[in-house]
Structure 1
Amino acid sequence: MALMERDREIVERYLKPPEERILDDRLIQGIQLTRFWFGVSIAMLVEIPQVGARDIPLVDWLANWAASGVVRLLAAPFLLLVTVPLVVAAFLAFVSGADRRRMTGRLRGPSIAVGMFLGHWLLLVATAIGPFWLGHHTSVLVGGLTFLAGLPLLLRAIGFVSMSVPCVARYMFRTMEIHQALPALLTVVLSWELLLVGELFPVHIVKNGYDSPLWLSLGGALATTAVAAWEIGRLRARHGIRLRTLPSA
């Protein structure tokens, strides 16, 4: 428990924006907390009618359904590692010159968040696979000793990466420090990316796998887009935050 608490503290230190950057709006904060999970939940719920519409054993259907949800959760942070730089670059090109300079000056926090996640993920890969590679090319003894020596680092990396998923889903690598609307925009892009991944690489962990029709799969992405549009509208109506500009304060 102490190790998990320590991992949570490290994740929040690097992946959570400073309190002064978090908008003082409880409704917006609630949307940010649930936006990503709402989209994933809708994407999972719309597939439930398939169990009655197809001749698939319930256990097989549940196995594929659960695996599909797990794949979405695990894929999200890694998709964002590619998506965040592209969306932020496009967003900065979209805004006016003066505000672009101000936003560019706020890139440090998101860059640290991306770097910490990527660094811990690479550490996980190195400490999990490295000893087996060494053991294969040298000796089992060397591989075993290397694994034992790197075990604390492996546990740290696993703890950080696993604890980071909720924080990344909410704060999108601290991109609200650049502009308050960026997490909502990123969530929309991510939801459509997950839809595309699901269509191109469907999860079939049992023999009786199934493919949901596209119109069902659209549910999660459309729901997430609608929630994000509402959030961006509230930012403008309640707080005067427009997409192409920053508040003067």
Structure 2
Amino acid sequence: MSNWNPGGQPPFNPQGQPPPPPPAGGYPPNAPYPYPPQPNAPYPYPPQPNAPYPYPYLPAAPPGPLTRLWRQIGPVPVARRVFKPSRPGIVQDPVVARMQRIRTLVGLAAVVWMSVTYKIADSARVGDSVGNVANDRLNQSWISVLVLCVTFPVVVGVLLALASASARRELLRRAAKCFGAMVALVAAVFVFPASVLTGFVEGRFATNPVMTVVTYTGILLTFVWVLPFVIAGIGLALLHVFRTADIHETMPPLLAMTLVWEMALIDLFTGAYTGVPAPVRILFMLGAPLSVTAVGLWELRRLHAHHGIGLQGLLMRQGPGQA
């Protein structure tokens, strides 16, 4: 007996006798099916969500020892932990982050194109021109970091003067990681001139086999670990504005706008982009400040409109524990 044959009758009658009449009151109703009917199912069984076919589910393999070691002590992962904001409860908007990366890449590409175009046109040696362009871009990035290192303490001092007395300790606690990131980057960069000035690179201290091993190990670590850390650190420090979002979400756009206008003034007084026609020079000197200002104002507006974060929270007037 089944739901398809409630009377228990065989599918055919070999003796040719008519089937018995149904019982009085009809056959009992079928038991309720525990699953909803499937409109186009070839059989009345419900679909299996985790069917072992056609491909079995295989969990991701755990990372190997080298991968785990790289994530712990690699220069780029360490730079990310040092220079990216990590305050609990911080608002991270992927749209803003994507816009910042696009703005940075477009601005860098435009400046490199202009530098390559005019320096190669004025130079007979293309290799030297490309090398000078790369050196100029690296020097400008490092100058931006130094200017930011000078500007940030001034901004923090102004905030301490304007903030309430109860919020100053919390403000200093949040700013500690920003100062730590600055110290880490400056110390990493200082390794290179210190190695040259002390004669460490030239093997001055390699007076015995032990010191020879120490010297070559130090040189290897300098170029394999410290140099990638510095390059990644400069990029992350400029992108995240020395993780100042740990203080407040409005600090990165405010400091970024301040920094680009300071760099524009420095380029104006130092005669940057010499040999470039005046209209193009003005365009590139004002293009970065105007674009960064537009992105910064848009970021402030988005933080206020989508997350309810405004400039009034920068002074922590509501109390030290609130943003």
| Normalised-by-shorter TM-score class | 0.7 to 0.9
- Indicate whether 1:183 and 2:252 are aligned: yes
CA distance in 2, matches of 1:34, 1:229: 16
For residue 193 of structure 1, report the CA deviation from its aligned partner.
2.5
Distance 1:93-1:99 versus aligned 2 partners, 3 A rule? same
Contact 1:17 1:171 in 2 (8 A): yes
Larger radius of gyration: 2
What is the deviation of 1:180?
A: 0.8
CA distance in 2, matches of 1:148, 1:230: 50
**Structure 1 residues 97, 238: closer, same or farther in 2, change over 3 A?**
farther
Partner of 1:118: 186
RMSD of aligned alpha carbons: 3.7
Between the aligned partners of 2:153 and 2:91, the Cα distance in structure 1 is 23
Distance 1:221 1:68, change over 3 A: farther
Q: Secondary structure at the match of 1:131?
A: coil
TM-score scaled by structure 1? 0.74
How big is each residue's C-alpha offset from its partner over 1:101-133, in whole Å with a ceiling of 9 and x where there is no partner? 432221221122112112212223212332169
Distance 2:168 2:107 in 1: 30
The 3 A distance-change label for structure 1 pair 67 and 198 is farther
Shift of 1:20: 3.5
Letter in 1 for 2:263: L
User: C-alpha separation between the residues in 1 aligned to 2:106 and 2:70?
Assistant: 25
Paired position in structure 2 for 1:71: 139
How far off its partner does 1:43 sit? 5.2
Does the Cα contact within 8 Å between 1:23 and 1:29 map onto a contact in 2?
A: no
Instruction: Indicate the SS of the match to 1:24.
Output: coil
Code of the residue aligned with 1:125 in structure 2: it is P
The change in CA–CA distance for 1:219 and 1:230 in structure 2 (over 3 A counts) is same
- Stretch deviating more after TM superposition (165-174 or 224-233): 165-174
Aligned to 1:210: 275
Partner of 2:141: helix, strand, or coil? Answer: helix
Structure 1 residue 36, shift from structure 2 partner? 4.1
Question: Matches of 1:244 and 1:10 in 2, distance apart?
Answer: 33
Q: Which moved more, 1:13-22 or 1:106-115?
A: 13-22
> Could you tell me how far 1:74 is from its partner in structure 2?
3.4
Letter in 2 for 1:104: L
Contact 2:80 2:236 in 1 (8 A): yes
Question: How far did 1:177 drift?
Answer: 0.4
User: Is contact 2:87–2:246 with CA below 8 Å preserved after alignment?
Assistant: no
Structure 1, unaligned stretches of length 5 or more?
Answer: none
Q: Mind listing any 5+ residue stretches in structure 2 that lack a counterpart?
A: 1-65
Q: Kindly report which structure 2 residues correspond to 1:83-232, keeping only aligned pairs within 5 A, or say none.
A: 83-131=151-199, 148=216, 150-155=218-223, 156-202=225-271, 210-213=275-278, 215-216=282-283, 217-232=285-300
TM (norm. structure 2) is 0.59
Q: Give the number of the structure whose residues are more often helix, by fraction.
A: 1
Report the more deviating stretch, 236-245 or 148-157: 148-157
